Structure formats: structure tokens, C-alpha cells
Amino acid sequence: MDLKTMARNKLKLDAVGGDSRARVIGGSAAGLVLLLVVLLLVLTTCGGGGAGSGARANGKGGGGDPAKEASKAVVKIAPEDGADEVATSGALRVSAAEGKLTEVKVKDSKDVPVKGEITDGGTAWKPRTHLAAGTKYSVDAIAKDSEGRTSAKHAAFTTFVPKNTFVGYFTPEDGDKVGAGMPVSINFNRPIAHREEVEKAISVTADPGVEVEGHWFGAQRLDFRPEDYWKSGTKVSVDLNLSGVEGSGGVYGKQRKTVKFTIGRQQVSVVDAKKKTMTVTRDGEKIKTVPITSGSPSNPTYNGKMVISEKHPVTRMNGDTVGFGGEYDIKDVPHAMRLSTSGTFIHGNYWTAQSQFGQVNASHGCVGLFDRRGGGANGTPGAWFFDNSMIGDVVEVKNSQDATIQPDNGLNGWNMDWAKWKAPQ
């Protein structure tokens, strides 16, 4: 018999006992009722029956979803977390087993990302380029197994610091505004044996877009240009990602720099050595024709397309420096602009009579314009052309008795045809 039944029977017996018994019990009746309420609460709490308590008794616990199993995907990162003296090429690898990579993020301590791509059906990730030297990198990779469950891994490492390095000296400078003939020219301070790797580490882009290709002149010079002269207003960006790239055995680049410049206009000045004139055209419009004197029959001016690489209001020209001995030494040549490394200039000339310009070719290979001693804004053709020229403008010489200038003699790669320029070297 349970406690509830016992309590009910006790009440019945008390009722049969009559008034006298009721009186005996008297004031204890209310206490009995309270006792029964307490007993019922105890029975409800400790006794049998609700669905909830039954579920707990059967070990099925709190009603929550069963815990998910761990992902079977295994992410591996090389090099290991904490590694140092890591190689800048070939050492970084990320892979996934029993699953596929869904996201890989690699960045340096300045939050500069390393671009890469997931390959091999999602089981591997590879960087697109080398890493910088002496730099700390972090790697975060996520993979999913066949059930869609994720697994993640993190690692950080530091690349080595090379003992032997090289740098590239570039033209033009960051922020320059130049003429349409200006190539990107990079001269390295050490010979480069791994030219393909170094060239891949340098990106030259233009807005508006145009194909830009590089060409090596020997082991220490790399120039970039489009097929034709740049269009006016073009914005050019040069990304030198050389830090960590191996230029030759044990010699690594240490530059990481972006250079930006703008093309101001497209000015081409055509010198006709036979007619002894120069016609200046800017953005397709002829703006001036002036008389000139070019190289004499014994010292003719080079033919070809030449880019202005330097401007000097006044400079000294000494024949000893270009193989002419003591034939001349003029200490104050006005309005001089360099066209070749070997010494070709277009410049003002005050020592030749004005009447000779347009009539006689009498120089040692330069192009001369009538000018006055001292230079300045003096209203002469020499002064006018200097004031209306910028670094990167083109001077084309034709109908001279000399050969075409070599493409590496100055910034004059325009004298090489496009197919040869971009051919593998």
C-alpha cells in the first residue's frame, strides 16, 4: 500500500469515531491536511512518473542534440609553427588530407597578403611568388571533410636574412611626369644569372591598359616598354618585389617598392639631317619647325628614335670624354639635352653663325639649335625647344649618313622591333 492510500484510510477511520473522536482530534485536523500536502509533494518529487524523469532515468539526458563528431579533414602547413631561417622559395606549402581546402590566408607582419591558389582538386595551396627575406609570416588554413565539417590550422614562421644582396636602380623616379618615349629602365648593381625569376618579380602595369614587356640588355639592365609610345595621360605603376628572389647563386634581392609615374604628353620631334630641319609634333599636331645643324659628313649623327634622358640649362662638353681628343672643350653649352649614353645631345649652339643653321651640318654628331651664350629664356630656337621639352620626349633622326643607334645606347629600345623585344632571351 502506498502512502497516498494510507492517508485516505486514516481519514475514514477518524470520521467513524464520531464527534467525541473528532473533538479529541480537534485542532490537529488542519495539521493533518498540511501533512498530506507535504507527502504529496514528496511523492511527486521522489516518486514515479513523469515523462521527463523517465527520460533522465533511461540516460537520454536534457533533451539536447547529440554532439557532432570532429572533422576528418587534416590540414598540414609547412614550415612548422615557430620555424625561422625559412627559405624564400619552395618552403611554403599547405595541404589537406581526408578533405579539401576551402580558404588559405598568408600575410606578413604588415598585413600584406601573399597571393596563391588552391590546386590539385582542393588538396594543396601554392604561393604565386617568392616570399620576402627577413620577414615574419602567418598562415591560416581551413578545410572541410565529406560531411561539410571544418578543420582549421594556424602557423607562423620567419624567413632567412641573406648575407649577399642586390638592388636595382630605376628610371623614372616615383611621382615623375615624363614624355611618351620613357621606358622603365632598371640597372642592377650585380650581374643577374636567374633573369627569368628576377623579371617575374617585377610588374609594370598601365592605365589605360596596354601590353608591357621586358627586355634584358646584358646581365645588369632590364627595360620595359609597350609596343608603341605611351599614350598621353597614361598612369604607369612599377612593382619591384625583389626582396627574397635569388638573382644569382647566394645573392638575393632586398627591394620591395612601388614606383608610379605619369605620361605628360606624346611629343615627337623629327630631325631631317638632309633637309637640316626639325619638326616638333605634340599629340598629333605640328607645333613648330626650326632649322638645325647635325653631324658633319665625317661625324654624322645617329639615325633612329632617341629619348631625352637628361636636361641641363648649361653644361660643359669636352671632346676627350667621347673620343674626339682635344678637338673641342666648350665649358658653357646652353640648353643641352642628352639623347645617348655615348654622348649624343640636342643642344643650343652660340659659336656657329645663325645663317649656317638649316644650311650646313657641322657638328661632331650632336643636333644643334641656334642659341645665345648664357642660355636662359632668350627667345632663340635652342631656348624655345628646351622650355618645351621634358625627360622622356622623343627625338627621331632620319636621312643621316650614320647607322641606326643601338637600342641600349641610352633609353632607346624603340629601335628594336616588337617581336625581337619580347622574344625569350
Active-site positions read 347, 366
β-pair partners for 280: 269, 288
Helices (H), 240-355: none
Smallest Cα–Cα separation from 406: which of 342, 336, 337, 320? Answer: 342
Burial class, 298, CB count within 10 angstroms (exposed 0-12 / middle 13-18 / buried 19+): exposed
Q: Copy the grid coordinates of residue 277.
A: 630641319
Whether 350 and 380 have beta carbons less than 8 Å apart is answered as no
List 139's β-bridge partners, or say none: 106, 155
Distance CA 301, CA 404 (A): 9
**Pairing relation of β-strands 164-166 and 251-253?**
parallel
Distance in angstroms (rounded) separating the CA atoms of residues 238 and 169? 13
Residue 361 and residue 294 in contact, taking contact as beta carbons nearer than 8 Å = yes
C-alpha cell at 358: 638649316
Residue 383, strand partner residues: none
Helix H or strand E segment including 420: helix 418-422
**Closest C-alpha among 320, 332, 337 to residue 267:** 337
Place of cell 486514516: 10
State residue 396 phi and psi, 5-degree precision. -105, 125
Closest residue by Cα to residue 75 from 110, 107, 105, 112: 105
Question: Strand order in 116-119's β-sheet?
Answer: 74-78, 93-97, 124-127, 116-119
Residue 206 amino acid letter: A
Do residues 166 and 245 make contact, with C-beta atoms less than 8 angstroms apart? no
CA distance 164 to 249: 10
The answer to whether 212 and 206 have CB atoms below 8 angstroms apart is: yes
The answer to whether 199 and 222 have CB atoms below 8 angstroms apart is yes
